[in-house]
Amino acid sequence: MRTATIERSTLETRIAATVDLDGTGQAMITTGIGFLDHMLDQLARHSLIDVTLNVDGDLHIDGHHTTEDSAIALGQAVAAALGERRGIRRFGEALSAMDETLTRVAVDASGRPHLVWRVAFTQPRLGDLDTELIGHWFASFAQHAGLTLHVETLYGVNNHHIAESSFKGLARALRQAVEIDPRKADAVPSTKGVLGGSL
pTM of the predicted structure, to 2 decimals: 0.93
The residue-averaged pLDDT of 147-159 equals 98
Q: What is the pLDDT of residue 186?
A: 78
How crowded is the C-beta side of 151, counted as CA atoms within 13 Å? 29
Domain covering 3-178 in this structure, CATH number: 3.30.230.40
Q: Tell me the domain boundaries of the chain.
A: 3-178
Q: What is the pLDDT of residue 1?
A: 85
